[in-house]
Amino acid sequence: MKIEVWSDFACPFCFIGKQRFETALEQFANKDDVQVVFKSFEIDPQAPKSVDHDVHDMLVGKYGMNRHQAIAMNNNIGKEAEDAGLAFQFDSIQLTNTFDAHRLAKYALEQGKERILQDFFKAYFMEGRHLGDHETLIELAVQAGFNVDEIRHVLGGDDYAEEVRADEEKAQRLGATGVPFFVIDRKYALSGAQSSDKFLQTLTTAWKDSQLLQVLNDTAKDSKSTDTCCDGACSIK
């Protein structure tokens, strides 16, 4: 069973959803037969690399609320994160453009370094790191086991830019209106940071569906007698 997950490193519910999904996957009886493929998505492709306001004021400008309401909203999200085992530090978040982080993540995933995804989320939401800064990305990549020169080469050009854009276009074609966005075998889709129970329920349903075969010509049902063999098939009592 193949599960594709679209998310953005600057999306709090993507981090929360990732934690909840992985909790559900650990409880899933057939987890060893599940392939998880992470896809890129930017909630704000036009975001600048550096801004002079914090995440609370960003909500003020985006939703027209006052700062007190924005802080309350982030506090509520923080509680959801805490329930998932995460300690968000909203006051320390450095808003930025995540495109280069996605390009580097594509390269890391190609090299089998999936841990970079968790490292990027943690750096952004829990450590107050500037995820749009190349030196920060290089430092995180080196900690994940990469060579400095190879990372500078990736970030210095436009490597994996087309792959990131292709992921985003695919999400739009599949009808994604937000992230995180989970697609199972291109048959089932879940949007948002669902509960672990909901993820597990969906995994179970999708797995059962994937194991069933659709019989295109049920000759036994078409036969007037269920005690004979006909049309190349014997009926089952």
pTM: 0.88
How far is Cα 26 from Cα 5, in angstroms, rounded to an integer?
16
What CA–CA distances, in Å, run from 57 to 32, 66, 94, 122, 128? Answer: 44, 8, 12, 22, 16
Residue 104 phi, psi (nearest 5): -65, -35
pLDDT digits (tens, 9 = 90+) for 147-169: 999 999 999 999 999 999 999 99
Domain ranges of the chain: 2-211
How far is Cα 206 from Cα 211, in angstroms, rounded to an integer?
9
How far is Cα 114 from Cα 108, in angstroms, rounded to an integer?
7
Task: Please write down the HEC assignment for all residues of 108-132.
Answer: HHHCCCCHHHHHHHHHHHCCCCCCC
Per DSSP bridges, beta strands 2-7 and 181-184 are: antiparallel
Low-confidence ranges of the chain (pLDDT < 50): 220, 225-226, 235, 237
> Can you list the alpha helix ranges (DSSP code H) found in the chain?
12-27, 55-63, 67-83, 99-110, 115-125, 134-143, 148-156, 161-173, 196-211, 219-222
Bond preceding residue 180 cis, omega within 30 of 0: yes
* Predicted pLDDT at 149: 96
% of the chain beyond a pLDDT of 90: 87
pLDDT digits (tens, 9 = 90+) for 18-52: 999 999 999 999 999 999 999 999 999 999 999 99
What is the maximal distance between C-alpha atoms in the chain?
80
CATH homologous superfamily, domain 2-211? Glutaredoxin (3.40.30.10)
